[in-house]
Structure 1
Amino acid sequence: MATATTQHGDRRVSPVFVGILAVTAVAGWATWTGFAAQPGVAVFLFVTAAWIVSLCLHEYAHARTALHSGDITVGAKGYLTLNPLKYTHALLSIVLPVVFLLLNGIGLPGGAVFIERDRIRGRWRHSLISAAGPLTNVLFAAVCTAPFWLHALDGVPRDFRYALAFLALLQVTAAILNFLPVPGLDGYGVLEPWLSYQVKRQVEPFAPFGLLFVFALLWVPSVNQVFFDVVYAILDGLGVEPVPRYCGEALYRFWQDTPEGCLISP
């Protein structure tokens, strides 16, 4: 009987992902140079495209780690091409996080790629596969905030600095939410291999509702405030002050009135 293998073509970067990268680059250039007549439009395109890139990398990290852990089927499924259309839950992985970004300015975690866990041996490998995705968000946040914590902002245009600050906020929120030990999220996936069979059986029915549970909790004002207090504390520690991240979100929502202070060079 034939077995699934990963061919070279299964790892070729998808033109869809290349197109998303191109939009990110052009919008980033327009944000940097002030080319767009409406700066908010450029910031919106840059942050949204970069956010989708991070979602693709998040899912790719799961798949790539699974490949090296024993699941050789991920290539044939298209998970290694970085094509968001190949994910098992494109709606949850891409569409819903983007919608939540537009509505609330929060980096909502998406649905994971389908991994054939029975092909993988060792609890550490299972945990690492789950952790790989949110660790990508952590790395993305480190890159976005590097100009801030390296004190290398001289020469960085105001709007681009604001866009980076807001993008960093999204990555931090995504990492925190993904690492929550809630069934259906990556944080629970990290812990699951170490739980007893009885506990896993009891928790399994709640897994499809974990993301909805988190979504509902974030609408509770007290929980929302605590959550963002943690997010802001992390960003403060990385040198991203309140004004850049506030103005970044304000510029992103170009369809709303942008505060005057965010349109005047500091």
Structure 2
Amino acid sequence: MVSVPVRPGDRRVSPVFLGIAAVAAVAGWALWTGFGDVPRFSVFLFVTAAWVVSLCLHEYAHARTALHSGDLTVGAKGYLTLNPLKYTHALLSIVLPVVFVALGGIGLPGGAVFIERGRIRGRWRHSLISAAGPLTNVLFAVVCTAPFWLDALDGVPPAFRSALAFLALLQVTAAILNFLPVPGLDGYGVIEPWLSPGVRRQVEPFARYGLLFAVVLLLWVPVVNGVFFDAVHAILCGLGVEREYSSCGYTLYRFWEDGWFCAVSA
């Protein structure tokens, strides 16, 4: 098997990613300082940009773990630059996740990087590559909720507090969805190396529909939706985030609707 060297430029952070991160930083600053007359649009920009940043970090974690596990091709493919335009399918990886945030407040996972699994040896390495992405969402959720579980909310503007809570909700939903053992999701990728070849062959045809099936259940089956979000809010409550904060953040995020008053009461 031909070895593919990783050049220094393959690891350079993309200006596209830096630009998205800058939007998140500026929108966060506007929220914190109360700059501008449309705080709800600042919530939208902050959460959307920060959510895309987390998607990039999610895919970077997959690629970086694959790199250290033996797949040197991830560098040449641009996956180590954090550039979302380098992903295998930008629509599924970036556009649709943002759309589903707006439609249902769900952090939709996206399968974006192509790992050459034939270059990787060892079942544990394959499982770790799949787990690395959703573990990034877990870490992101812990960071977003830090002011809550550290009881450090004094002086944090209500709108910024709600935006953080909603962003944390997206990270928790993404982590739970990704860890589901459904073909096509990272959770299945974790257990797949431990399944027999026969089982893997039987499941393989359904892999392309796994994500769609999970999303349809969550959005259009009330019982499943209720159980899922009850679990999400239970986790957030354990991290100190009350349901009213994340709900208010979602309301603020949808700036095209009425209901901005929740930022004042939060």
Instruction: Kindly report which structure 2 residues correspond to 1:209-220, keeping only aligned pairs within 5 A, or say none.
Output: 209-218=209-218, 219-220=220-221
Aligned to 1:9: 9
Aligned to 2:158: 158
SS in 2 for 1:109: coil
Aligned to 2:243: 242
* Count of equivalent residues: 265
Instruction: Kindly report which structure 2 residues correspond to 1:193-212, keeping only aligned pairs within 5 A, or say none.
Output: 193-212=193-212
Which AA in structure 2 matches 1:171? Answer: Q
What does the per-residue CA deviation read over 1:197-236, in whole Å, with 9 as the maximum and x for residues that have no partner? 0000000000001011101111100000000010010011
CA distance in 1, matches of 2:195, 2:243: 40
Structure 1 gaps, min length 5: none
Aligned to 1:167: 167
Which AA in structure 1 matches 2:257? Answer: Q
SS in 1 for 2:256: coil
CA distance in 2, matches of 1:242, 1:107: 16
| Superposition misfits of 4+ residues, deviation over 6 angstroms | none
Moved more, 43-52 or 1-10: 1-10
**Cα distance 1:186–1:2, how it changes in 2: closer, same or farther (>3 A)?**
closer
Instruction: Kindly report which structure 2 residues correspond to 1:62-73, keeping only aligned pairs within 5 A, or say none.
Output: 62-73=62-73
Does the 8 A contact of 2:127 with 2:189 survive in 1?
Answer: yes
Residue 2 of structure 1 and its aligned partner are, at CA, apart by: 6.2
SS in 1 for 2:74: coil
The two structures, once aligned, show a CA RMSD in angstroms of 1.1
TM-score by length of 1: 0.97
CA distance in 1, matches of 2:251, 2:217: 24
Matched, 1:258 2:259: yes
SS in 2 for 1:112: coil
Which AA in structure 2 matches 1:222? Answer: V
Residue 259 of structure 1 and its aligned partner are, at CA, apart by: 5.2
CA distance in 2, matches of 1:15, 1:225: 40
Aligned to 1:59: 59
**Equivalent pairs: percent with the same residue?**
79
Does the 8 A contact of 2:40 with 2:260 survive in 1?
Answer: no
Aligned to 1:21: 21
Does the 8 A contact of 2:27 with 2:42 survive in 1?
Answer: yes
CA distance in 1, matches of 2:248, 2:2: 56
Matched, 1:78 2:78: yes
CA distance in 1, matches of 2:79, 2:153: 36
Aligned to 2:190: 190
CA distance in 2, matches of 1:259, 1:225: 25
Which AA in structure 2 matches 1:121? Answer: R
Does the 8 A contact of 2:166 with 2:249 survive in 1?
Answer: yes
Aligned to 1:222: 223
Aligned to 1:117: 117
CA distance in 1, matches of 2:206, 2:97: 21
CA distance in 1, matches of 2:123, 2:236: 33
Aligned to 1:143: 143
Aligned to 1:46: 46
Residue 265 of structure 1 and its aligned partner are, at CA, apart by: 4.7
Residue 254 of structure 1 and its aligned partner are, at CA, apart by: 1.1
CA distance in 1, matches of 2:42, 2:208: 36
CA distance in 2, matches of 1:162, 1:259: 11
SS in 1 for 2:88: coil
Residue 27 of structure 1 and its aligned partner are, at CA, apart by: 0.3
SS in 2 for 1:181: coil
TM-score by length of 2: 0.97
Which AA in structure 2 matches 1:183? Answer: P
Aligned to 1:94: 94
Which AA in structure 2 matches 1:249? Answer: Y
